[in-house]
A and B are shown apart, each in its own frame.
Chain A
Amino acid sequence: MALVVAETSGRRALSPESLRLRLSFLALLALLAFAALVARLWFLQVLSSEEFEAQAQSNTVRVIYESAPRGRIFDRSGNVLVDNRESLVVTVDRFTFDTEFDEGEQEELVLRLATEISRAGRLTKVFEIADALGDPRYGPLDAVPVADDVTENFEILLAERADEFPGVGTVVRSVRTYPYGDLAAHILGYVSLLSEEQYELVADDPKTYRRNDEIGQTGIEASFESVLRGTPGYTRLEVDNVGDPVAVLDQVDPIAGADVHLTLNIDLQALAEKELLAGLAEARQQETDDPNQPPFKAPGGALVVLDPNGSEVLAMASFPTYSPSEFVSGFSADRWAELQDPNNHQPLHNRALAGIYPPGSTFKLFTAYAALNSGVIGPRGVLDVRTLYDDTGSYVVPSCEEELVASCTFKNAEEAIYGPVDLHRAITVSSDVYFYYLGDTMDRADRFDREGIQRSARLYGFGAPSGIALPGEGAGRVPSPSAAEAAGEPWRTGDSIVLAIGQGLLGSTPLQLANGYAAFANGGTLYSPKMVEQVVNPVTGEAVQTFGDRVLNQVYLPPSIRTPILEGLLGVTAELEGTAHSAFFGFPLEEWPVAGKTGTAEVVGQADNSLFAAFGPNPNPEYVVVAIMEESGFGASVAAPAVRRVLEPIATNSVPAVRTIDDLAELSGPIEDDEVSEDADTGSAA
């Protein structure tokens, strides 16, 4: 019996009372939980809220950023073109400045600061500091830089009299320095503070940018920004209400940016810049024959030196130029406007790759190629290579209808009459009439759909960006019937005729022209011009990225086409009647044969642009040089001599080695940038 009772009591059904009891236990549990939470809330929010409020006010996580050094830029022989140096910067803590001083005290502090910084050797105006303190790029807790390149004397003064300058401190900032001064300014580019729009663009960049960071704005500094920029490090500190660190939350070390090695040869660059400048100076000395003609203003120009085997850019000069070091400490709005003003011919504009110029007669190479390649010149064409064509000084379009042709008579420049010319002589003496005839013939031949010359031009890279690793490259223009039609203009035979001599709407950048010549010089391979050889890890010295040759196009260029054109181009410098014969008089042409072509491109309402394109030594060219000088007159008289003066030291292996400004400073004490460039001027004029 007892057993049975025990068993039934063990399996006793749960009574509703038991369930209710157990639910009440749950309610009790919940009540305890709520009691605990409310009690704690009461303690935190009512009893000790003052203490927590004070903590919240002073509670800040301070992040100390450590910027990473930017990568350096080298030339092909390992000379440093762009380096970093340290600049001592005075900062003012905005929080202290805004909260601890009234307006009068603020003014007084700024005045004292300007006085002391100036007295220590760096002239600083009161409004410069006041402006910097008002800069909206800095947050209310930031230390705002108010003066840079301050002398160490100020740092010593600050250390001794810190209590007189509350919130004032110094930091060392890494800034760009240019050992070769303004050389290659357009290629290297410059860095300056991020604009608001740029900040938006790089907001998600893994190499975190802050609002007061610098960014490459042009040139290699811009196109290799992602490589050159280092990854900043930071330390996150928890600080108490007096600003003392309580704990280090985390710390990340900065990583230096990678170095960029260019294909540029700094000695050649110096030579190119010097001779471009000298050529323009000479152009301005010329007198116009006719006072009604526009004067030779020679405001700007470009000179490009390529290695045709791979289109490595050895030198690329553009004038007028600027000083990248000007951007280091920032400059006034007036100076910026000056640099942008068209009246100053836009010194920031890199003419070598962004300037669009009609190539003039230098383009005849490509017209000749079109004619030879299509058979217009050839055994079954209208002329054979050796066939003499009578240049009477003008070309009259047969069965001419003015409407369809634009004009019926096209004359040689300077009303010259060359008499019987074959292809070789037509190039050597630069007979326009011969090429007018080719242009007219190709325009009339149905099988070209009037684009025979255009196709040839595009094969050599005209009308499309070359793809060089620099920003702002121009595409140029190749006019064509289809493009004209799209613009609602008729394409007339006359357009083809002037295109044959590189005039009309045709436009190319100096770099494109040089690259087209390079393709011809190397036997038909059109490369994308190479500016950067490799990217190198600055710590290990290992190449991170190496750039090989990039072939854009393979042009069909058998000896039967190349040789006749090349002979004509060689005649330009070597033969007595060659257009650049006098410019190359005395040049060692036997050892170092130069093929070239002059160009005198007409621009409406201005003096002619002077052009010269050349390559050598033939038959295996290693250098292509193209010079374009605005409003400077004949190609033969200005551009050709300048190119010769670049080629001659190369041919005789005597390119002068340039010293860096730093070297010069070591030799003869401090030297101003201006003096160096003046030296270059006088040297070239001599």
Chain B
Amino acid sequence: MAVISLEERRLKERELNPRSSPYAPWMHIDLLLVLAAAGLAAIGLAAIYSTTRGRDPENFDAFFMDRQSLFAVAGALLMVFAAWFPYQELAKFAVAIYGVGLLALIVVLGPLGEEVNGARSWFRFGDFQLQPSEFQKLAVIVAVAAFLARYEEHLTVPRVFFAVGIVAWPGLLVLLQPDVGTALIYVFIGFVLLLIGGIRFRQIIGIALIVVTVVTLMINSNMLEDYQTNRLRTFVDPTTGVTDAGFQQRQAQIAIGNGGLSGKGYGEGSQTLSGLVPQQHTDFIFTVIGEEFGFVGSATTLGLYALLLLRILQAARLAKDRFGALICSGVFAMILFQMFEAVGMTLGITPITGIPLPLVSYGGSSAIATLIGLGLVLNVRMRRFV
């Protein structure tokens, strides 16, 4: 009779128990996270249809909704792929992925890129447009996570600067498009990754001082486009609202306030019907939810985001290694910041920037990138025993 040590027996039990077997990662898929994402995508499709279907009940136009459904399906497939590929292997490809993304951000500034609404951010493939800055967010997360995961201790100043550099290059390229909103996402992702990666408090203060100085200089220089300074100025003082930005912000707030407690009903929002809120199916999609589903619908939507973010944070806490924890924190930062900004600007508490509401706004690149990010989170969580 063989004597089995306690340690060996525990290992054996773990393997035999399907709930903790490292060989059955799909047993640990986070269904709550998937459900929250699906719920948000469904709300998004309904809102997109409401604002883009037109006013002719005989002849509703499902073009945008159909396309967004297509993006959601494509994104879901890529999410499964991102979850299936063992994430630890990803560190090996981090440099390659980051390099390709950086190259795309350089090329998009050239003649191959397409300019929409004053920003040269897109590649065009037939009927579809691809926004490389959306995907580069993920590449930055993976690259910074791979770099920071190498060190088990607090960060030294050179390492902090190296990590900041990984974020800064794509960030500056995005700023050149110019797309300030997306560049700000990079800043926040970088901050969160450094925080989880072990930055010291005094280092944070130092970086904050540098950032404030640079931003102040930027606003006062000519680097920002007129419409962007307008947006910022309008945010500071909305009553100067002769400009389009002031109009947009005011219309957005009227739409949301008009929703009241329970909303005007689906397809009944007067602001939505009259098309008074510009870019309502993309960046201002939350105004549709606010007007037609009211406080109840808005709060439910925010609740789904809260659930989603909570599950991501838990995945970070449960992660087997620092690399996994950092990836989850990066995705958390990305979604939290975009959600706060895209909802906040419709409520008038943040300045207007061109940031889509993750999973809800119309737009293929954003939806697909977000779903891939969630796939990575699922990946980290379900391989926590491996």
Using CB atoms and an 8 Å cutoff, list the residues of chain A in contact with chain B.
10-14, 18-20, 22-23, 25-27, 29-30, 33-34, 36-38, 40-42, 44-46, 48-49, 51-53, 55-57, 59-61, 238, 247-249
- A248 CB contact (under 8 Å) in B242, B322, B344: B242
Task: Determine whether the beta carbon of A44 is less than 8 Å from that of B329.
Answer: no
Q: Residues of A contacting B325 with CB < 8 Å?
A: 19, 23
Report the nearest B residue to A250, measured CB to CB: B244
Task: Determine whether the beta carbon of A14 is less than 8 Å from that of B153.
Answer: yes
Q: Residues of B contacting A10 with CB < 8 Å?
A: 154
Q: Residues of B contacting A36 with CB < 8 Å?
A: 340, 344, 349
Report A447 CB to chain B, min CB distance, Å: 56
Q: Residues of A contacting B316 with CB < 8 Å?
A: 23
Q: Is the C-beta of B267 less than 8 angstroms from some C-beta in chain A?
A: no
10 shortest A-B CB distances, which residue pairs?
Answer: A52-B257, A56-B258, A49-B260, A45-B295, A40-B347, A33-B340, A11-B153, A44-B257, A13-B152, A247-B242
Q: Residues of A contacting B329 with CB < 8 Å?
A: 23, 26
Report the nearest B residue to A8, measured CB to CB: B153
Task: Determine whether the beta carbon of A45 is less than 8 Å from that of B290.
Answer: yes
Q: Residues of A contacting B247 with CB < 8 Å?
A: 238, 247, 249
B residues 230-248 touching A (CB-CB < 8 Å):
241-242, 244, 247
Q: Residues of A contacting B153 with CB < 8 Å?
A: 11-14
- A44 CB contact (under 8 Å) in B198, B251, B253, B322: B253
Q: Is the C-beta of B261 less than 8 angstroms from some C-beta in chain A?
A: yes
Task: Determine whether the beta carbon of A56 is less than 8 Å from that of B340.
Answer: no
Question: In whole angstroms, how far apart are the Cα atoms of A36 and B350 in the complex?
Answer: 11
Report B109 CB to chain A, min CB distance, Å: 29
Known: A33-B336, A42-B295. 8 other contacts (CB 8 A): A12-B153, A23-B313, A23-B329, A26-B195, A38-B302, A40-B348, A55-B254, A249-B247
Q: Is the C-beta of B299 less than 8 angstroms from some C-beta in chain A?
A: yes
Report A305 CB to chain B, min CB distance, Å: 51
The answer to whether residues A34 and B306 also contact, given A19-B196, A22-B196, A46-B295 and a CB cut-off of 8 A, is yes
Question: In whole angstroms, how far apart are the Cα atoms of A60 and B343 in the complex?
Answer: 24
Fill in one digit per residue for B339-361: 1 if any A CB lies within 8 Å of its CB, else 0. Answer: 11001100111000000000000
Report the nearest B residue to A55, measured CB to CB: B254
Q: Could you list some 24 contacts between A and B, CB below 8 A?
A: A13-B153, A14-B198, A22-B195, A26-B313, A27-B313, A29-B336, A30-B313, A40-B348, A44-B347, A45-B298, A46-B295, A48-B257, A49-B257, A49-B258, A49-B261, A52-B256, A52-B257, A52-B258, A53-B257, A56-B257, A59-B254, A59-B270, A60-B274, A61-B276
Task: Determine whether the beta carbon of B276 is less than 8 Å from that of A59.
Answer: yes
Q: Is the C-beta of B364 less than 8 angstroms from some C-beta in chain A?
A: no
A10, A27, A41 — most chain B CB neighbours (10 Å): A41
A27, A36, A42, A56 — most chain B CB neighbours (10 Å): A56
Task: Determine whether the beta carbon of A12 is less than 8 Å from that of B256.
Answer: no
A13, A33, A48 — most chain B CB neighbours (10 Å): A33
Q: Is the C-beta of B384 less than 8 angstroms from some C-beta in chain A?
A: no
Q: Is the C-beta of B380 less than 8 angstroms from some C-beta in chain A?
A: no
Question: In whole angstroms, how far apart are the Cα atoms of A458 and B98 in the complex?
Answer: 71
Q: Please give the number of chain B residues whose Cβ is less than 8 angstroms from any Cβ of chain A in the complex.
A: 51
Q: Residues of B contacting A18 with CB < 8 Å?
A: 198
Question: In whole angstroms, how far apart are the Cα atoms of A56 and B256 in the complex?
Answer: 10
Task: Determine whether the beta carbon of B242 is less than 8 Å from that of A23.
Answer: no
Report B87 CB to chain A, min CB distance, Å: 17
Report A60 CB to chain B, min CB distance, Å: 8
Question: In whole angstroms, how far apart are the Cα atoms of A430 and B299 in the complex?
Answer: 96
Chain B binding site: helix, strand, loop or mixed by DSSP? helix
Task: Determine whether the beta carbon of A20 is less than 8 Å from that of B317.
Answer: yes
B residues 330-386 touching A (CB-CB < 8 Å):
332-333, 336, 339-340, 343-344, 347-349
Task: Determine whether the beta carbon of A45 is less than 8 Å from that of B259.
Answer: yes
Report the nearest B residue to A57, measured CB to CB: B270
Q: Residues of B contacting A29 with CB < 8 Å?
A: 336
- A51 CB contact (under 8 Å) in B257, B274, B299: B257
Fill in one digit per residue for B178-206: 1 if any A CB lies within 8 Å of its CB, else 0. Answer: 00000000000000100110100000000
Q: Residues of A contacting B276 with CB < 8 Å?
A: 59, 61
Question: In whole angstroms, how far apart are the Cα atoms of A29 and B196 in the complex?
Answer: 13
Task: Determine whether the beta carbon of B260 is less than 8 Å from that of A53.
Answer: yes
Question: In whole angstroms, how far apart are the Cα atoms of A612 and B343 in the complex?
Answer: 81
Report the nearest B residue to A59, measured CB to CB: B254
Task: Determine whether the beta carbon of A11 is less than 8 Å from that of B299.
Answer: no
Q: Is the C-beta of B113 less than 8 angstroms from some C-beta in chain A?
A: no
Q: Residues of B contacting A42 with CB < 8 Å?
A: 295
Question: In whole angstroms, how far apart are the Cα atoms of A175 and B288 in the complex?
Answer: 43
Task: Determine whether the beta carbon of B336 is less than 8 Å from that of A37.
Answer: no
Report the nearest A residue to B263, measured CB to CB: A45
- A41 CB contact (under 8 Å) in B241, B299, B317: B299
Question: In whole angstroms, how far apart are the Cα atoms of A42 and B259 in the complex?
Answer: 11
Question: In whole angstroms, how far apart are the Cα atoms of A52 and B294 in the complex?
Answer: 12
Question: In whole angstroms, how far apart are the Cα atoms of A419 and B310 in the complex?
Answer: 114
Fill in one digit per residue for B265-279: 1 if any A CB lies within 8 Å of its CB, else 0. Answer: 000001100101000
Report the nearest B residue to A14, measured CB to CB: B198
Report A247 CB to chain B, min CB distance, Å: 5
Q: Residues of A contacting B336 with CB < 8 Å?
A: 29-30, 33
Task: Determine whether the beta carbon of B299 is less than 8 Å from that of A12.
Answer: no
Question: In whole angstroms, how far apart are the Cα atoms of A18 and B76 in the complex?
Answer: 34
Q: Residues of B contacting A40 with CB < 8 Å?
A: 344, 347-349
Q: Residues of B contacting A44 with CB < 8 Å?
A: 253, 256-257, 290, 347
Report the nearest A residue to B251, measured CB to CB: A59
Q: Is the C-beta of B142 less than 8 angstroms from some C-beta in chain A?
A: no
Question: In whole angstroms, how far apart are the Cα atoms of A57 and B255 in the complex?
Answer: 10
Fill in one digit per residue for B298-324: 1 if any A CB lies within 8 Å of its CB, else 0. Answer: 110010011001100100110000100
Question: In whole angstroms, how far apart are the Cα atoms of A248 and B274 in the complex?
Answer: 18
Task: Determine whether the beta carbon of A49 is less than 8 Å from that of B259.
Answer: yes
Q: Residues of B contacting A30 with CB < 8 Å?
A: 306, 309, 313, 332, 336
Report the nearest A residue to B309, measured CB to CB: A30
Question: In whole angstroms, how far apart are the Cα atoms of A30 and B325 in the complex?
Answer: 17
Task: Determine whether the beta carbon of B259 is less than 8 Å from that of A37.
Answer: no
Question: In whole angstroms, how far apart are the Cα atoms of A10 and B200 in the complex?
Answer: 10
Question: In whole angstroms, how far apart are the Cα atoms of A111 and B328 in the complex?
Answer: 74
Question: In whole angstroms, how far apart are the Cα atoms of A49 and B196 in the complex?
Answer: 41
Question: In whole angstroms, how far apart are the Cα atoms of A238 and B258 in the complex?
Answer: 18
Q: Residues of A contacting B313 with CB < 8 Å?
A: 23, 26-27, 30
Task: Determine whether the beta carbon of B152 is less than 8 Å from that of A46.
Answer: no
Q: Residues of B contacting A46 with CB < 8 Å?
A: 260-261, 295
Report B346 CB to chain A, min CB distance, Å: 9
Report the nearest B residue to A40, measured CB to CB: B347
Report the nearest B residue to A42, measured CB to CB: B295
Task: Determine whether the beta carbon of A34 is less than 8 Å from that of B347.
Answer: no
- A37 CB contact (under 8 Å) in B154, B196, B309, B347: B347
Report the nearest A residue to B291, measured CB to CB: A56
Report the nearest A residue to B246, measured CB to CB: A247
Question: In whole angstroms, how far apart are the Cα atoms of A25 and B298 in the complex?
Answer: 25
Report B347 CB to chain A, min CB distance, Å: 4
Q: Residues of A contacting B251 with CB < 8 Å?
A: 59
Report B27 CB to chain A, min CB distance, Å: 24
Question: In whole angstroms, how far apart are the Cα atoms of A38 and B347 in the complex?
Answer: 10
- B270 CB contact (under 8 Å) in A25, A56, A238: A56
B residues 152-166 touching A (CB-CB < 8 Å):
152-154
- B299 CB contact (under 8 Å) in A25, A38, A52: A38
Report B256 CB to chain A, min CB distance, Å: 5
Task: Determine whether the beta carbon of A14 is less than 8 Å from that of B152.
Answer: yes
Question: In whole angstroms, how far apart are the Cα atoms of A203 and B69 in the complex?
Answer: 29
Task: Determine whether the beta carbon of A41 is less than 8 Å from that of B309.
Answer: no
Q: Residues of B contacting A34 with CB < 8 Å?
A: 302, 305-306
Task: Determine whether the beta carbon of A26 is less than 8 Å from that of B332.
Answer: yes
Q: Residues of A contacting B309 with CB < 8 Å?
A: 30
Task: Determine whether the beta carbon of A53 is less than 8 Å from that of B196.
Answer: no
Report B237 CB to chain A, min CB distance, Å: 15
Task: Determine whether the beta carbon of B196 is less than 8 Å from that of A45.
Answer: no
Report B293 CB to chain A, min CB distance, Å: 10
Task: Determine whether the beta carbon of A26 is less than 8 Å from that of B271.
Answer: no
Q: Residues of A contacting B256 with CB < 8 Å?
A: 41, 44-45, 52
